[in-house]
Chain A
Amino acid sequence: MIKSLSKYFSWIAIATFCMALPAYSQEETIQIKKPGVITDFTPPTPIVVKGYSGEVAKVLNFDLTVMGFKEVEEGGAQYTLSGSNNGSVQGQLSFGKTVIFSKVYTGSSLRSQAHRLADEVVFKLTGVQGIAESRIAFCGYNILGGGQGKKGEIYVSDFDGYNAKSVTSDDVDVCDPCWVPGRLAMFYTSYKSVYPRIFYQNLTSGERRVFSSYPGMNAGSAVSPDGTKVAMVLSRTGSSEIWVKDLSGGEARQLTTSAHQASGPCWSPDSSTICFSAVVGGRTSLYKVSASGGGMERVRTDGVGRPTEPDWSPDGKWIAFTSQASDFSICVIPASGGSATPIVTGQDPSWAPNSRTLVYVKRSGTEHLVLSVLDVPTKQYKDAYRVTGNHSNNSQPSWAR
């Protein structure tokens, strides 16, 4: 048992431990599994959480669940997170009787303090930065009858859907929000001026401008991880193809000529390659094209059909996408293509900065689209808090990275 577990032993975690606890005994086994093969089911790491109540208890449960942990009864785990949320959040993480850290969190809200505590637990135990303080953008909308169609806004919120705020107030069809990496700025498509145009918006100043307004469709904007280029779908040549344009301006450059019905471009982390969905010869597949041009190369998604909406993990190893049979499912393939692993029912996945958690869309009953947060290795998920009222469908999430 100990030997088989040691196979999964994280050297980063050991290093972290040794630095934090010089006197720590090396005899003891730390049961941590790094997501070695992300598409193999990995059991969650059990942890006892005690002393918290109300909102803080919920936040800790949500955050730890979607980062690969599972709350268990006392005695069921070697890790214990104990503390309180009386006025401010306090937390002590221990392994058996050894205290790993003990902290008091101040400032901002109790939710925020709880998020920081969860991130600290995850970082101490896995060596990977937590995601509980990260943010997402999405569309909040309803579809009205009588030919009125979609009325919605672009929203930004905490990664769990809380503190959602609309950043537009146009009451029109909006879609495809995408963050500029590391900035409070985004691109999205809006029908504000009747035809679908790509807008750039600075969320700090509120300034926005039209980024792409060619005749026909301007949609699917995706900013390269190095922050210099925007991939998008334009139909100006008479078919929907992948184009790229510099953030600094200039003309858009056409990358594909035979995708015909291209959609959903995303970038490799080194900003060299764009992955997208296209319909060639009546068949929907994922393709890659170099951001500097050249031919399209098909990406295998063995075992599942009609792949769309790809998203490349920030560590470069995986591509998540939506496949469609009788229902939509979230699937993952190695970035080079290959056998696809269906994870859960849902659509439009977007990777978190940790390259293991996804936010995606699922249908709640027949009525609403709701965002859900999924830990891929353990297949654990939690529904995000939903914007309700006039914008009760929440879709097309984009994780800020």
Chain B
Amino acid sequence: MKLNNLLNLLVLGLALTITGEGCKTKRVRTTPIPSGKNDVTDANPPGGSSVPSIPINNSNPISLPPPVDNNPRNVDNTSVKNPDNTFQLTKDHTGWNANADALKAEIVYFDFDKSAIRASETSKLEHVVEYLKSNPESAVRVEGNCDERGTEQYNRSLGERRSLAAREYLLNAGIAATRVDTLSNGQDKPAELGHDESAWSKNRRDEFIVLTAPKP
């Protein structure tokens, strides 16, 4: 048993080494300018043979510049003309601790291609409301999901609409707008991997992730 584990580690290590080597080799490869046009920059002589190199698998942690223009906490929404102003998303809870288990029983399911909350699902939303009222320090992220029928970009917007539908319910029930985030996974996070209605019906859903502030 122990020997097996050791062997596995060895193989894994070897695989990682090989992968690492692969990346290194790739790094020196070059990529011609997009679309093969030779007139994009003066630096490229006709023929497109002189090419800037692309650092591959840029693994350095990116340093996110301060989002001065679009820091959610500084956004002035006055220029926005939308009848749903009351439900505007004002901030999210990036960096908060996520707990997917606390409200696992309250997953809300949807009809195919629909974002309306079914009457059968409202009791679950009431439980979410109760939870948020009795845990006033916490917030929630509503994650909207779709089945695989539908194009990728369409489903990302459909998932967002499902998430926003639950958010609207929570806000109407008195939960502060600042406590409810939305996130759409589109069709990218299925609960079940199958390709039939039994899987699809479980994948058309909203999940509720409880968020708590990181300890200072």
A-side interface residues toward B, CB under 8 Å?
107-108, 119, 131-135, 143, 145, 147-150, 156, 163, 165-169, 173, 175-176, 179, 182-184, 193-196, 203-206, 208-210, 212-217, 219-220, 233, 235-241, 249-254, 257, 260-264, 277, 284, 308-309, 322, 324, 328, 347-348, 353, 366, 395-396, 399-401
Give residues 49-86 of B contacting A (CB, 8 Å). Answer: 49, 52-60, 62, 64-65, 67, 69-70, 72, 75, 77, 79-86
- Cβ-defined contact, A261 with B182, below 8 A: no
A residues near B79, Cβ cutoff 8 Å: 251, 253-254
Complex CA distance for A203 and B29, rounded to whole angstroms: 13
The one of B82, B157, B193 in contact with A145, judged by C-beta atoms closer than 8 angstroms, is B193
Supposing A175-B156, A309-B153, A395-B152 touch, asked if A260 and B36 sit within 8 A by C-beta, the answer is no
Q: Within the complex, what minimum Cβ distance (angstroms) separates A213 from chain B?
A: 5
User: How many residue-residue contacts, CB under 8 A, span A and B?
Assistant: 239
Q: Which residue of B lies closest to A361 (CB)?
A: B152
**17 more A-B contacts (CB under 8 A) besides A150-B189, A214-B75, A219-B184?**
A108-B49, A134-B34, A135-B34, A143-B189, A145-B192, A163-B29, A165-B29, A165-B56, A173-B188, A220-B156, A236-B89, A238-B82, A238-B167, A240-B157, A252-B70, A264-B154, A324-B149
- Cβ-defined contact, A308 with B184, below 8 A: no
Interface stretch, picked from B6-14, B126-134, B158-166, is B158-166
Complex CA distance for A108 and B51, rounded to whole angstroms: 11
A residues near B184, Cβ cutoff 8 Å: 196, 217, 219, 235
Q: Mark B19-59, 1 if CB is under 8 A from A, else 0.
A: 00000001001011111110010000001110011111111
B138 within 8 A of A: no
B106 within 8 A of A: no
User: 12 A–B contact pairs at CB < 8 A?
Assistant: A135-B36, A168-B57, A173-B188, A194-B94, A195-B94, A205-B55, A216-B160, A216-B181, A241-B82, A263-B156, A395-B152, A400-B35
Q: Within the complex, what minimum Cβ distance (angstroms) separates A147 from chain B?
A: 7
Q: Within the complex, what minimum Cβ distance (angstroms) separates B87 from chain A?
A: 4
A residues near B35, Cβ cutoff 8 Å: 131, 134-135, 182, 353, 399-401
Complex CA distance for A240 and B182, rounded to whole angstroms: 12
Complex CA distance for A233 and B70, rounded to whole angstroms: 15
Complex CA distance for A290 and B160, rounded to whole angstroms: 24
- Cβ-defined contact, B151 with A324, below 8 A: yes
Q: Within the complex, what minimum Cβ distance (angstroms) separates B32 from chain A?
A: 7
A residues near B117, Cβ cutoff 8 Å: none
Complex CA distance for A155 and B92, rounded to whole angstroms: 29
The one of A150, A217, A251 in contact with B69, judged by C-beta atoms closer than 8 angstroms, is A251
Q: Which residue of B lies closest to A152 (CB)?
A: B188
A residues near B57, Cβ cutoff 8 Å: 166, 168-169
Complex CA distance for A176 and B77, rounded to whole angstroms: 26
Q: Within the complex, what minimum Cβ distance (angstroms) separates B22 from chain A?
A: 11
Complex CA distance for A173 and B167, rounded to whole angstroms: 23
B residues near A175, Cβ cutoff 8 Å: 152-153, 156, 186, 188
- Cβ-defined contact, B183 with A194, below 8 A: yes
B residues near A165, Cβ cutoff 8 Å: 26, 29, 31, 54, 56
Q: How large is the interface on B (under 10, 10 to 19, 20 to 34, 35 or more residues)?
A: 35 or more
Complex CA distance for A208 and B89, rounded to whole angstroms: 26
Q: Mark B175-197, 1 if CB is under 8 A from A, else 0.
A: 00000011111101111110100
Complex CA distance for A261 and B192, rounded to whole angstroms: 25
- Cβ-defined contact, A216 with B182, below 8 A: yes
B88 within 8 A of A: yes
Complex CA distance for A324 and B113, rounded to whole angstroms: 12
- Cβ-defined contact, A257 with B193, below 8 A: no
- Cβ-defined contact, B92 with A237, below 8 A: no
Q: Within the complex, what minimum Cβ distance (angstroms) separates A281 from chain B?
A: 13
- Cβ-defined contact, B59 with A169, below 8 A: yes
B residues near A176, Cβ cutoff 8 Å: 153
Complex CA distance for A219 and B54, rounded to whole angstroms: 24
Q: Within the complex, what minimum Cβ distance (angstroms) separates B163 from chain A?
A: 8
B residues near A210, Cβ cutoff 8 Å: 64-65, 67
- Cβ-defined contact, A236 with B88, below 8 A: yes
- Cβ-defined contact, A217 with B156, below 8 A: yes
Q: Which residue of B lies closest to A186 (CB)?
A: B34
Q: Within the complex, what minimum Cβ distance (angstroms) separates A322 from chain B?
A: 5
- Cβ-defined contact, B185 with A173, below 8 A: yes
| Interface pairs A-B: 4 shortest CB-CB | A133-B36, A400-B34, A149-B189, A215-B89
B residues near A236, Cβ cutoff 8 Å: 75, 77, 80, 88-89
Q: Within the complex, what minimum Cβ distance (angstroms) separates B168 from chain A?
A: 8
Q: Which residue of A lies closest to B183 (CB)?
A: A195
Complex CA distance for A395 and B152, rounded to whole angstroms: 9
A residues near B86, Cβ cutoff 8 Å: 238
- Cβ-defined contact, B88 with A238, below 8 A: yes
Complex CA distance for A347 and B150, rounded to whole angstroms: 10
